[in-house]
Every structure is written in C-alpha cells, then in structure tokens.
Amino acid sequence: MEIKSLLREAKTQLAESGISEIDAEHLMAHVLGLSRMDLHNPVLVESTLATISDTDVIQEQFFTLLDRRINHEPLQYLTGIAPFRYLEIQVGPGVLVPRPESELLVQAVLNHIANLPSPVSVIDLGAGSGALSLAIATEAPTSRVIAVEKSPEAIFWLKKNTSVISENVRVVEGDVADVLPGVKCDVVIANPPYIPDEQPLPRDVAGFEPHIALFGGPTGMELPKRFIVAAARLLKPAGVLVIEHTEDQAIAIAAELAIDFEDIAVHDDLVGRPRWTSAVRK
C-alpha cells in the first residue's frame, strides 16, 4: 500500500468537492492509528504498515471514510474525536462538534475563576459533548462543575467524555427552565441553540449535526432568552454569566441581560466577530 499515492488521489477528490485536502491526512492517520504528523515520518509509517496483515482492509476503510467526508459528513464524526484546548473530546451523531471559538470563552472563565476563592461552582447549560465543562474542570481542578443537558443523544457523549476525562464533572439531565431547583453557583456558561430557524447552514452542519442544538426559534432568540432566565435563577449575586450567540445577536442578548444583569460586555471570536457576552448578576 503506497500511502503517498493514496493521499494524492484522496486530496484531489476532496478539493473537487470543496473540502480541505488536509482531511485526507486526518483520515489516513485515523485508520493507521497514528497522528497526522506521524504520516510525515516515513520510518514510522513503514513500521506501522509492517504490523498490518491485510493492508487492503486499511485501504478500504480509508476510502469508505473518504466517501463519507465527500458527502460532507463532519470529519470529527468520522474520526470520533474533536480537539478542544488540551483535550480530545469524543463526538458523533447526536452531539455538536465543539467549535474553536468556544476556547476563548473558556479562557475568560478560567481567568475569572483564578480571581475567586476556591472552590468555584460552575454550571454549564447546554453542555453537549462536555467540551467546555471538561476544559474548565481539568484546567481549574478545584472548581466544581455541573454539566446540564436535555438531549439523550448528547448525554450519551457527555457521559462518555466525563468517564474518560474527569468524573468530577456532575452530569444532570434536564431542561434549563427547571433544572437544579434551589442551587446557586458562581459562574454559568451557556451555549444555547441560537440560530434562526430559517437560516441556511453549511452542508457539514445542516445535514449531520443535531438541529435541536442549533436552532433557537424563529428569530434565534427564543431559546437564548430561556437560558438567560435560567442563569439569573441559578447565579449568586455578583455571579457571572457567559453566553454564546451569533455575531448578529449581541444587541438583543444585551437587552435581555439588562433585566437581571449588569456590567454587560460583548467579546469577539478568533476573527473579530462578536460571538459571546459576559454579564454580572445584580
């Protein structure tokens, strides 16, 4: 099996479909059990191939995954892994793929936690795969994190990740409207479904990722409003909420927050778009 020629063929097919050629390397590394950078080490590749009794099976697996990627199935679903900060989060159908933009939100929360007396209590509303919860729990190990999720499909992945990465994260299944009665915390992070129902999305997202975690109602604000109300209920006075939203929702989010929050601040993502907001509970 000639790895370089297989990769050239795969990259051509991906490019013709408008998909990053690098995905071919990710897929090949996955089927060989290597990292993508290992593919550029010919000695390591050859030694790996020498341990495989039937390379035709590997080749078949690779092209099966390639066909699925050309059909725009998310790369992370195909490899089963989504990198997030210092973690490898397991993902698949039924849960959103963690986005790089959320890494900045996590860093801001970690900076805030560092200035508070331990232990700091954090509730993650709409936790999905647990990427945000687990990043905070592992990078701020004295924090107490509760991950709240409604979708049974997402909870499967959430529990899978917590069991591998940090069992200190408490998983709670429930709706944000009434979950955790009587509980108060220092920080709430929220990633609600916020995309307007009729907004078109890329094929990778629209065709595969769960709509329940994407669409927030006719205007996109219907579900974020519910998350903001829940955060107001759960936070202690002077507690902090950080909430993700689209780049067009910052003003609407601020208006909703103004009822129960102060010190409202909008924050940009990696390319300078306003993608999340922080606020302090009055």
Each residue's pLDDT tens digit, 212-227:
999 999 999 999 999 9
**Higher-confidence position of 249 and 42:** 249
Q: Rounded mean pLDDT of 136-146?
A: 96
Residue 8's pLDDT is what?
94
Structure tokens given for 154: 């997402």
Q: Write the CB contacts of 112 (distance below 8 Å, at least 6 apart in sequence).
A: 187, 240
What pLDDT, on the 0 to 100 scale, is given for residue 235?
Answer: 98
In the 8-state DSSP scheme, what is residue 41? -
pLDDT, mean over the chain: 95
Task: Supply the pLDDT for residue 101.
Answer: 86
Cα dihedral across residues 65, 66, 69, 74: positive or negative: positive
Domain boundaries, the chain: 3-71, 85-281
What CA–CA distance (Å, rounded) separates 197 from 119?
A: 39
- 1 pLDDT band (50/70/90 cuts)? low
Label residue 50 by pLDDT band (50, 70, 90).
confident
Range with the lowest mean pLDDT among 184-193, 219-228, 267-276? Answer: 267-276
Residue 32, CA distances (Å) to 21, 43, 46, 105, 261 in order: 18, 14, 11, 34, 51
* CATH topology for the 85-281 domain: Rossmann fold (3.40.50)
How many angstroms separate the Cα of 80 from the Cα of each of 38, 55, 152, 157, 161?
19, 22, 18, 11, 12
What integer pLDDT is reported at residue 74 of this predicted model? 97
Amino acid at 254: A
Q: Is the pLDDT of residue 232 over 70?
A: yes
Q: State the pLDDT confidence band at 53, using cuts at 50, 70 and 90.
A: confident
Those residues with Cβ within 8 angstroms of residue 49's Cβ, 6 or more apart along the chain or in another chain: 1, 3, 32, 55
Angle at 198 between CA 193 and CA 201, to 5 degrees: 70
- What average pLDDT score do residues 125-152 get? 97
Let me know: does 14 contact 36? Beta carbons within 8 Å. no
Is the pLDDT score of 56 beyond 90? Answer: no
Residues 21/7, Cβ–Cβ less than 8 Å: no
Q: Note the helical H segments in 94-202.
A: 101-113, 131-139, 152-165
CB 213 within 8 A of CB 96: yes
Q: What is the mean pLDDT of residues 46-71?
A: 91
